[in-house]
Amino acid sequence: MTGARPLPLLRGSAAALLVSRAPTGTPPEALVALVLAVALPVVGPAVGVVLGRRARRRCDAEGLPGREVAVAAEVVGWVLLAVLALGVALVATLVVVPLVWLAAA
């Protein structure tokens, strides 16, 4: 892929590697979804899922390459959302249970 420029959110070799490994004609939403799913801690996974699904549907409808990148963004987004949900549940449990125990005492 000639003339590939790094994505604005990533600078240097990581962005160049991601862009250079993507098949030519990959929808930009697929690459942005994968980068945002990993780069942004809270909002990124949700954005990655939405953009990844949109890019996957576009690849299927228009016959574009890059479906694998879109699916990867979706999977990474869902996994990170699950980890985030488990973290919130764990913190809530560690805060609420002692408070209820103290209130009952």
Q: What is the pLDDT of residues 51-79, one digit of tens each?
A: 999 999 999 999 988 899 899 999 999 99
Range 23-49 average pLDDT: 85
Asked whether 69 and 26 are in contact (CB, 8 A), the reply is: yes
Query: 77-100 burial, b for 16+ CB within 10 Å, e for fewer?
Result: bbebbeeeeeeeeeeeeeeeeeee
Residue type, 14: A
Residue 22 domain-assigned (yes or no) = yes
Distance between CA atoms of 58 and 105, rounded to whole angstroms?
58
Asked whether 45 and 80 are in contact (CB, 8 A), the reply is: yes
- Is this structure's pTM higher than 0.75? no
Number of domains in the chain: 1
Domain extent, residue 88, equals: 13-104
pLDDT value, residue 20: 58
